[in-house]
């Protein structure tokens, strides 16, 4: 997820600094290179040698004549992103006031001035997090384009975000955002049909692939709705469901404003009228199974032109058999593409899939590896699908005038590039050097305002 990304890790004086060693390890496990920057207060909580060991880089604990802040976070600096973790109330307030009296705040001032992406993971006691001055400082930093890994509010504290959420925020800040302005609905995991108040009919799907796809789409700039029987996540608006019917209803409703649907869930094919009381064991029983409507077909009926990605798990042992089954599903529901895989990998951490696109060919793109890697490939393919749907939307409904098609393609290409690249704009009249990075929200709003004006 962070292959080739250079992270300057700014550590401030919170007890949450003890989490930094494992955070640095996780960033490196995801492919990043990390260099620590510590405030004097941070060095009182965790020794710089520990951060040195975790990052395999010398720690910056003071600014010297080597101008470490510029070497790391300047316009030609080493870092691709500055991660402030933990970001204390003191550090947040100083950065918002452009006070740079520690190596961490000096790097932040430099990064913001240079247009370098900045991610902050606040950590403090909850009353401090609720202080009007801290709230104002956080709002100002957000206006300046800083991304946040939101803290977990528990036990009277705003605890530093989980490592996965911090890594996701860093990935979003450093990854191209071709899905900015788009809404993607993802279904994930198994559904469950009640037999009685205790027992259910379900399947072995873990939801790992679906959740990874939702995360990958979020990293690429999308607003994501995740429909599953699982917990809330930071990278998506979660719609919790249990049964096949509730998943279908929730997905249809969410798809009304969607630009694409990824149907990764293993939805029950059958349901049953549940018994009101627990069925007694020890004797045979017979269940009257009824077929459940197909989710993809129901969504397709509601949104005939919506790009939909389907999943097909089969017990076929040959690629040709998998592709044949995927083609049948694709042709039946006019899917953008189908992710086909052997059912034996359900629940595993690694998988092998075939991405079967539209057309008559018998070939498919093979993706093998951990499920986040596979999810990234699916999200990248989806990016092309969504871009093509935008082209169709502004191409005068299939006009036979190629010059208008070319104009619309040029405009949408320009808008997509504008939405995915960090745009710079002046924030004071003092000159072109005073510039800031627009937030993801700003870029999405810019795209849609432009699209409405064009239309």
Q: Please enumerate, as own/partner, the contacts of 291-296 that have beta carbons within 8 Å and a separation of 24 or more.
A: 292/244, 292/245, 292/248, 292/267, 292/268, 293/245, 293/248, 294/333, 295/187, 295/244, 295/247, 295/248, 295/251, 295/263, 295/265, 295/267, 296/263, 296/329, 296/333, 296/335
pLDDT at 24 over 70: yes
Ranges for all domains in the chain classified under CATH 3.40.50.1950 = 6-174
Alpha carbon distance 98, 428 (integer Å) = 15
Between 229 and 454, the higher pLDDT residue: 229
The lowest-confidence range among 135-144, 174-183, 346-355 is 346-355
pLDDT at 415 over 60: no
Task: Please give the pLDDT value at position 399.
Answer: 46
Q: What is the pTM of this model?
A: 0.84
- Arithmetic mean of pLDDT, 228-246: 96
Tens-digit pLDDT profile for residues 281-304: 888 989 999 999 999 999 999 999
pLDDT at 68 over 60: yes
Task: Please give the pLDDT value at position 392.
Answer: 55
Nearest 10 degrees: Cα torsion 343, 346, 349, 350: 10
Query: 6-174: what fold?
Result: Rossmann fold (3.40.50)
Ranges for all domains in the chain classified under CATH 3.40.50.10300 = 183-391
pLDDT at 430 over 90: no
Q: Report the CATH superfamily, name and number, of domain 183-391.
A: CoaB-like (3.40.50.10300)
| Cα angle for residues 9, 10, 12 (degrees, 5° grid) | 140
């Amino acid at each position: 997820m962070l292959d080739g990304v250079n992270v300057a890790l700014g550590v401030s004086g919170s007890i949450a600094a003890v989490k930094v060693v494992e955070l640095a390890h996780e960033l490196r496990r995801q492919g990043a290179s990390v260099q620590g920057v510590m405030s004097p207060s941070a060095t009182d909580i965790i020794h710089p040698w520990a951060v040195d060991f975790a990052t395999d880089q010398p720690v910056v604990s003071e600014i010297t004549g080597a101008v470490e802040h510029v070497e790391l976070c300047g316009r030609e600096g080493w870092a691709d992103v500055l991660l402030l973790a933990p970001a204390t109330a003191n550090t947040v307030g100083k950065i918002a006031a452009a006070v740079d009296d520690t190596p961490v705040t000096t790097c932040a001032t430099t990064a913001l001035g240079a247009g370098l992406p900045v991610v902050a993971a606040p950590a403090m006691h909850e009353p401090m997090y609720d202080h009007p001055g801290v709230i104002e400082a956080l709002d100002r930093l957000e206006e300046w384009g800083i991304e946040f890994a939101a803290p977990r509010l528990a036990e009277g504290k705003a605890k530093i975000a989980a490592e996965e959420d911090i890594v996701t925020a860093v990935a979003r800040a450093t990854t191209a955002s071709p899905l900015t302005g788009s809404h993607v609905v993802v279904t994930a995991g198994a559904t469950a049909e009640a037999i009685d108040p205790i027992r259910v009919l379900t399947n072995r799907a873990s939801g790992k692939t679906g959740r990874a796809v939702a995360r990958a789409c979020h990293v690429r700039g999308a607003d994501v709705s995740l429909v599953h029987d699982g917990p809330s996540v930071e990278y998506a608006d979660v719609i919790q469901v249990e049964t096949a019917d509730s998943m279908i209803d929730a997905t249809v409703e969410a798809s009304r404003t969607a630009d694409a649907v990824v149907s990764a869930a293993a939805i029950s094919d059958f349901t049953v009228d549940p018994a009101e009381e627990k069925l007694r064991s020890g004797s045979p029983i017979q269940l009257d199974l009824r077929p459940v409507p197909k989710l993809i077909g129901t969504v397709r009926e509601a949104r005939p032109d919506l790009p939909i990605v389907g999943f097909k798990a089969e017990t076929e042992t040959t690629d040709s058999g998998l592709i044949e089954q995927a083609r049948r599903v694709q042709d039946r529901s006019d899917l953008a593409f189908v992710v086909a895989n052997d059912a034996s990998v359900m629940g595993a951490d690694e998988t092998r899939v075939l991405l079967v696109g539209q057309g008559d060919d018998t070939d498919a793109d093979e993706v093998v590896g951990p499920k986040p890697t596979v999810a990234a490939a699916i999200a990248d393919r989806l990016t092309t699908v969504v871009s093509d749907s935008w082209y169709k939307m502004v191409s005068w409904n299939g006009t036979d005038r190629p010059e208008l098609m070319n104009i619309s393609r040029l405009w949408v290409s320009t808008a997509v590039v504008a939405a995915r690249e960090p745009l710079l704009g002046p924030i004071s009249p003092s000159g072109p050097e005073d510039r800031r990075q627009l937030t993801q929200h700003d870029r999405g709003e810019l795209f849609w305002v432009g699209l409405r004006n064009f239309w």
